[in-house]
Amino acid sequence: MKEWMGKIRTLSLFSFLVIILSACGKDNLTALVPKGYGAEESFNVILISILVMIFVFIVVMAIYVYVIFKFRQRKGQENHIPKQTEGNKTLEVVWTVIPILLLIIIAVPTIASTYDLADESEKEDSINVNVQGMQFWWNFEYANEEIQTSQELYIPVNERVYLNMLSSDVIHSFWLPSISGKMDVNPDNENTMYIEAYEEGVYWGKCTEFCGDSHSLMDFKVVVVSQEEYDQWVEGMKNTDPEYTAESSTAQEGQEMFANSCISCHAIDASSSNPVVGPNLADFGNRTMVAGIKNYSKEAIVDWIMNPGEIKPGNGMLSAPYLQDNSMEEEDAEKIADFLMELKATDEPVDSVEQFKKDETENNN
């Protein structure tokens, strides 16, 4: 009786875990619903491996159960020794050849995919983005377009985009499960990969190499848009102006404070010649999220300016002078937020971004 209780308890614990863990998934953050070339290739390899494993499991279990019943000890045969099969060549060959065949079934598509995903033959004619990982955010520099952005990588749908990845501090890892795989981002040797998305939308990416206090918060997004929207966005980014003048009066006051406190680390135009100190804030008004992790709203921006250390412990902004001497009032932060929300590369709303914001608000309500 006691033994059964223990089993039931273990079983209910596992079911509970399954229920909890199933809530962790997001449609745009899972390798199991591939929405891009690399993710699809990986998914097929996963599927083949699982099918082979299920086949092995069923066959082994069937033989196991059969043998238990067939050769069990029967009454009156306590001292019976069954026929020994040691040295049976046929058996030896069979159970050596079958695993080899199974491994070949897994290895052929795996190796093919590995080479395919490392293919750089189209690199020169494609969009090239230099990805820079930093504690705890991402910078994306479009090599040919000569623009840069942070946290949100825009790419056109059904186009191969090549990523050249380096870290400027510790080792990070770029993981974009719905579209492609995962790649280490090292401080000294450049790693490359390409991504190609099949559907417009906003896809979630994460850092998957422990890199410090806020490693688990080092999120980014890949915004997949139509070719037309992409061209508009690039054009808009090229035209972002370092001399931009805010429109509303509160934003103008905010801009003044921004010029005193923030501009030494954060550029407001996308020019790739801006030094990469803090995240580039060009097009900040069209961001999907604040700091990569908070739903986009004025409150979230104010909260970030006032308490960056609580939201992302250990981030670079903590050394900002206004946080050292507590010189920022909440109403100042509100004005800066007004200014930042005006910074837009395109006035046309981007479909994927609008949809993403709507979904996120619904999910959190």
Nearest approach, Cβ of 204 to ligand CUA (angstroms)? 15
The residue range among 38-46, 98-106, 205-213, 254-262 that interacts with ligand CUA, by the rule CB under 6 A, is 205-213
Secondary structure of residue 208 in the 3-state scheme: coil
Bridge pairing between strands 152-156 and 219-225: parallel
- HEC readout, 288-319: CEECCCEECCHHHHHHHHHCHHHHCCCCHHHH
Closer residue to ligand CUA (CB): 129 or 218: 218
The residue range among 46-54, 211-219, 221-229, 338-346 that interacts with ligand CUA, by the rule CB under 6 A, is 211-219
The reply to whether 287 sits near ligand CUA by the rule CB under 6 A is no
What is the C-alpha to C-alpha distance for residues 339 and 251, in angstroms, rounded to an integer?
A: 4
Nearest approach, Cβ of 207 to ligand CUA (angstroms)? 3
Residues in the chain: 365
The reply to whether 215 sits near ligand CUA by the rule CB under 6 A is yes
Mask 166-185, x = binds ligand CUA (CB under 6 A)? ------x-------------
The reply to whether 266 sits near ligand CUA by the rule CB under 6 A is no
The reply to whether 207 sits near ligand CUA by the rule CB under 6 A is yes
Helix (H) or strand (E) run with residue 4 in it: helix 2-22
Closer residue to ligand CUA (CB): 149 or 315: 315
Q: Which one of 41, 200, 209, 253 is in contact with ligand CUA (CB under 6 A)?
A: 209
Interaction residues for ligand CUA, span 128-147 (CB under 6 A): 133, 136
Cβ atoms of residues 335 and 253 within 8 Å: yes
Closer residue to ligand CUA (CB): 206 or 287: 206
Nearest approach, Cβ of 186 to ligand CUA (angstroms)? 12
E strand spans, the chain? 127-134, 137-142, 147-150, 152-156, 161-167, 172-175, 182-185, 191-195, 201-207, 219-225, 289-290, 294-295
The reply to whether 218 sits near ligand CUA by the rule CB under 6 A is yes
Question: How far is residue 235 CA from its own chain's centroid?
Answer: 26
Closer residue to ligand CUA (CB): 204 or 233: 204
Torsion of CA 251, 255, 261, 263, to 10 degrees: 130
Cβ atoms of residues 203 and 35 within 8 Å: yes
Nearest approach, Cβ of 316 to ligand CUA (angstroms)? 13
Question: What single letter denotes the amino acid at residue 139?
Answer: N
Measured N-to-C along each axis, helices 298-306 and 330-342 cross at an angle, to the nearest 10 degrees, of: 130
Secondary structure of residue 324 in the 3-state scheme: helix
The residue range among 74-82, 121-129, 202-210, 293-301 that interacts with ligand CUA, by the rule CB under 6 A, is 202-210
Nearest approach, Cβ of 22 to ligand CUA (angstroms)? 25
The reply to whether 211 sits near ligand CUA by the rule CB under 6 A is yes
Q: Give me the residues that bind ligand CUA (CB under 6 A), please.
A: 133, 136, 172, 207, 209-211, 215, 218
